[in-house]
Amino acid sequence: MRTKITRLLGIEYPIIQGGMAWVAEYHLAAAVSEAGGLGIIGAANAPADWVRQQIQETKKLTEKPFGVNIMLMSPYADEIARVVAEEGVKVVTTGAGSPEKYMKMWKEAGIKVIPVVASVALAKRMERCGADAVVAEGTESGGHIGETTTLVLVPQVVDAVKIPVIAAGGIADGRGIAAAFMLGAQGVQMGTHFIVTKECWVHENYKDMVIKARDIDTRVTGRSTGHPVRALRNQMTGEYLKKEAEGASFEELEKLTLGGLRKAVIDGDVKTGSVMSGQSAGLVKEKMTCEELIQKLVKETDDLLKGTSLYE
């Protein structure tokens, strides 16, 4: 299953695990990398010291490449940008902004930089400033999202840039991976299915809710605030959307989500917490190890693509 992405990153399969806030800590990242994909530590809003520790713990569990996702709205983004260079992290992905100001430092440190983008314009800007690849993330994704669906975003980004494109949003099985390849992507990033893996530390209530979710069970809160976030529907999303429709202020809405992801991931409070998930939750049916998931994905994709000339 070799593509430009496996070669760029020195990995076996072109499957990247999303850098999910609170969810993607070192046990998950190391397990995905050990299984032949690219594991990613999600720095989210955590302090730089936590990220450094996570990197060091990952190195103890795997000698294979892994990455760190930097959420650029984090107050610690500048510090974390230095930590990844100091720690010799091989791959950095970024979300929720443009990483232009860190590019020179990262390139000098030999880091492969893969910004997550939700538009063609940002993909082109990222290529111009030296990105090695981009993740084109459709609105089917969980968490902070853009407007455009994966099916239309990916081929437009592929047409607009020369660097390899990784598809994300709505992909949870071999059919999704094969489809992403047909759109011109050279790899995929998946988040939601990795939430329910055995190595993922999220509370069992969170995993059970993802598994029970149907096609219509996600909601997008915060469209009015300019920070749309997709999560599984629950009491919190219900109250949020009601208040949002009534024209509530940003401050009032923020009270409903503050600390919500921690509540869901750590405490298992899936009623009032924020159970971020992509629309692909409807495709996720069982808990398994990262190794089992990646082998299943590779077999499904391979079976679909046999006879095509896609692989290098």
Site string for ligand TUI, 90-109 (x = CB under 6 A): -----xxxx-----------
Binding of ligand TUI by 47 (CB under 6 A): no
Query: Residues 5, 48, 116, 153: which binds ligand TUI (CB under 6 A)?
Result: 116
Binding residue (CB under 6 A) for ligand TUI from 5, 8, 43, 44 = 44
Can residue 138 be called a binding residue for ligand TUI (CB under 6 A)?
A: no
Helices (H), 183-309: 192-195, 204-212, 235-245, 250-257, 260-262, 290-305
Query: Given strand 229-232, what is the order of strands in its sheet?
Result: 143-144, 229-232, 218-221
CA–CA dist 155, 81 (Å, integer):
30
The 253-272 site mask, x for binding ligand TUI (CB under 6 A), equals: --------------------
For ligand TUI, the closer CB: 116 or 178: 116
Binding mask 64-93 for ligand TUI (x = CB under 6 A): -------x----------------------
Rounded to whole angstroms, the Cα distance separating 263 from 257 reads: 10
- For residues 260 and 254, what is the distance between their CA atoms, to the nearest angstrom? 10
| Alpha carbons 244 and 246: distance in angstroms, whole number | 5
One-letter amino acid identity for 71?
M
Near ligand TUI in 193-222, by CB under 6 A? none
Closest approach of ligand TUI to the CB of residue 308, in Å = 30
HSE-up (13 A, CA, CB side) for residue 279: 17
53, 89, 178, 287 alpha-carbon torsion, rounded to 10°: -10
With CB under 6 A as the contact rule, the residue among 14, 143, 176, 273 that binds ligand TUI is: 143
Binding footprint of ligand TUI on the chain (CB under 6 A): 21, 44, 71, 95-98, 116-118, 122, 137, 143-146, 227, 229
